[in-house]
């Protein structure tokens, strides 16, 4: 039998690119200074398999390697993401799959259309524990609203956690009338209770270079729970 030809829609689609950012912010968390965020993915029939990570100029910045498997149909998205980061496991072992190791497996579900996107993400396995020692099931829910004004693509985003997330204690200091006193400081991956942990506004403009278009963006990124905010600048580089 003569094999049927594969239509353009049925052929796998690949992507290779990177965001280069002046400051790396993720879900309201400060992850370091100037960073390159490489990404590669392969999509076919609604399935998408990808990987991304970080490469910071400062050797003290943590490095990440994340693997993603998602399925999308009619705007609905379901999938899983494996996160791995240096500085969690003492020896930074990647092939060490222990619940107290550096891997975290997150379940993802959401919906995306041209008017808005809504994603819910929950850690279902791995190093994700409350200060009390219980499994935290740290959850992050994000709403995004894109719009176009003044020849610029904008996106307004808000992210929240519905309950206490994973956390740990570390030495800290508080100022008292008698001077500085050393105390145990509680640090959470998101927050200790229902909180808005991220609010951002990104403006993107594609520069026409003749042979290619280069998206550049500026973003206001804040964490209302921690009362922090920063402005970052970046560019998306897609060689293929």
pLDDT in tens, 91-131: 889 999 988 889 999 999 999 999 999 999 999 999 999 99
Q: Indicate the fold that domain 13-164+190-237 takes in CATH.
A: Porin (2.40.160)
Q: How far apart are CA 38 and CA 64, in angstroms?
A: 10
159-192 pLDDT, tens per residue? 999 999 999 888 766 666 666 777 778 899 999 9
Confidence class for position 8, pLDDT limits 50, 70, 90: very low
- Could you tell me what percent of the chain has a pLDDT over 90? 72
Q: How far apart are CA 37 and CA 168, in angstroms?
A: 27
What is the model's pLDDT at position 207?
86
Q: Which of 159-163, 205-209, 219-223 has the lowest mean pLDDT?
A: 205-209
Q: Which of 2-6, 85-89, 131-135, 214-218 has the lowest mean pLDDT?
A: 2-6
* Mean of all residue pLDDT scores within the chain: 90
pLDDT above 90: residue 90: no
φ and ψ at residue 17, rounded to 5 degrees: -170, -175
Top mean-pLDDT range of 9-13, 98-102, 146-150, 170-174? 146-150
Contact 189, 138 (CB under 8 A): yes
What is the model's pLDDT at position 173?
67
33-75 pLDDT, tens per residue? 899 999 999 999 999 999 999 987 777 778 999 999 999 999 9
Supply angle C-alpha 167, 170, 171, rounded to 5. 155
pLDDT above 50: residue 2: no
| Span 140-158, average pLDDT | 97
pLDDT above 80: residue 10: no
Q: Provide the β-strand partners of residue 18.
A: 38, 237
Cβ neighbour number for residue 158 with a 10 Å cutoff: 15
Which pTM does this prediction carry? 0.89
What is the model's pLDDT at position 16?
93
What is the model's pLDDT at position 6?
40
For residue 220, how far is the Cα from the chain centroid?
Answer: 16
What is the model's pLDDT at position 236?
94
Confidence class for position 79, pLDDT limits 50, 70, 90: very high
What is the model's pLDDT at position 175?
66
3-state secondary structure of 57: coil
pLDDT above 60: residue 27: yes
């Amino acid at each position: 039998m003569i094999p049927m030809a594969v239509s353009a829609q049925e052929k796998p689609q690949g992507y290779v690119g990177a965001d280069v950012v002046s400051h790396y912010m993720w879900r309201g968390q400060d992850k370091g200074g100037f960073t390159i965020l490489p990404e590669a993915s392969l999509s076919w029939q609604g399935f998408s398999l990808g990987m991304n990570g970080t490469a910071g100029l400062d050797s003290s910045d943590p490095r990440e390697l994340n693997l993603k498997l998602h399925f999308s149909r009619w705007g609905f998205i379901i999938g899983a993401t494996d996160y791995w980061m240096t500085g969690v496991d003492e020896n930074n072992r990647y092939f060490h799959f222990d619940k107290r190791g550096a891997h975290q497996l997150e379940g993802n579900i959401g919906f995306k259309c041209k008017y808005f996107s809504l994603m819910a993400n929950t850690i279902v396995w791995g190093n994700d524990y409350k200060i009390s020692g219980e499994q935290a099931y740290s959850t992050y829910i994000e709403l995004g609203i894109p719009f176009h004004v003044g020849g610029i693509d904008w996106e307004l985003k808000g992210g929240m956690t519905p309950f206490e997330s994973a956390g740990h204690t570390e030495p800290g200091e508080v100022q008292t009338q008698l001077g500085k006193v050393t105390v145990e400081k509680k640090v959470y991956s998101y927050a200790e209770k229902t909180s808005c942990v991220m609010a951002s506004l990104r403006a993107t403009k594609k520069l026409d270079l003749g042979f290619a278009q280069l998206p550049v963006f500026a973003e206001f990124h804040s964490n209302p729970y921690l009362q922090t905010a920063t402005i970052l600048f970046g560019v998306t580089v897609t060689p293929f």
